[in-house]
Amino acid sequence: MNTLVRRRWLNVSLLGLVGGLVALVVIEPGRKQATTIPPLLEFTAERIERITVERPGQEQLAFERREDQWWMTAPAQGLANAVLIRPIPRLAEARCAPSYAVAGVDLPRLRLDPPRLRLWLNGREIHFGDTTPTDGQRYLRIGGTVHLCPDRWYPLLTSAAAGFLMKPLENFQKR
């Protein structure tokens, strides 16, 4: 056999080996398909009509949707600041992993009993606990499950109540 024929067979063999490795990477035999993480609540942000926030040591907040606009109903009344209120209903659609059964978790240690904050979205209660020391995710308890979620909502929900009210336009006019 001449050198040219040997090289062709070597190239064909190497091509077959690379193809087999690619097939292994794509198929990954023995590995289960990743399951999709369900949203925290069974309804979307658009279906939320009422929001209540109980904050120990601070005033309780309450909002309701009226004709596609959010209104603050407690501690003051008026049109809600859309920039601040918009992220809150989106918590219902958040996909947080990992999650744990309440029975296997020390709730007082995670500051979930009593919780640092309570949030109700259309009457569904969510307890906010501490953050994890390693990655800063926050423990959230919904029913019999504790979830680890990004800490986007707690700082917003503990901010000053007055910030949630839309400022009158005359406050922004030139003087």
Instruction: State pLDDT tens for residues 113-123.
Output: 999 999 999 99
- The Cβ of residue 75 has, within 10 Å, a number of other Cβ atoms equal to 14
Sorting pLDDT into bands at 50, 70 and 90, what band is 88?
A: very high
Per-residue pLDDT, 165? 94
Nearest to 139 by CA among 119, 120, 111, 158: 111
Cα torsion through 12, 18, 23, 29, rounded to 10: 120
Residue 40 lies in a domain: no
Establish if 132 belongs to a structural domain.
yes
Domain count, the chain: 1
Domain that holds residue 78: 45-163
Nearest Cα to 77, choosing from 88, 66, 92, 91? 66
| Residue 37 located in a structural domain | no
Q: How many residues does the chain have?
A: 175
Rounded Cα–Cα distance for residues 29 and 11 (Å): 27
- Tell me if 165 sits within 8 A of 79, measured CB to CB: yes
- Mean pLDDT rounded to a whole number for the chain: 89
Predicted pLDDT at 137 = 95
Calculate ∠ Cα 167-84-158, nearest 5°: 105
- Residue 114 lies inside a defined structural domain of this protein: yes
CB atoms under 10 Å from CB of 112, counted, come to 20
1-29: pLDDT as tens digits: 688 788 888 888 888 888 877 777 777 66
Within a 10 A sphere around the Cβ of 145, how many other Cβ atoms? 14
The span from the CA of 98 to the CA of 140, in Å, is 11
Angstrom distance (rounded) from CA 110 to CA 131: 8
In a domain, 120, yes or no: yes
C-alpha 175/C-alpha 171 separation (Å) is 10
How far is Cα 84 from Cα 105, in angstroms, rounded to an integer? 32
pLDDT of residue 148: 96
CA distance linking residue 165 with residue 140, whole number of Å: 26
Residue 140 in domain? yes
Q: Please give the model's pTM, rounded to 2 decimal places.
A: 0.76
Q: Tell me the per-residue pLDDT of 20-54, one tens digit each, with 9 for 90 and over.
A: 777 777 776 666 655 688 999 999 999 999 999 99
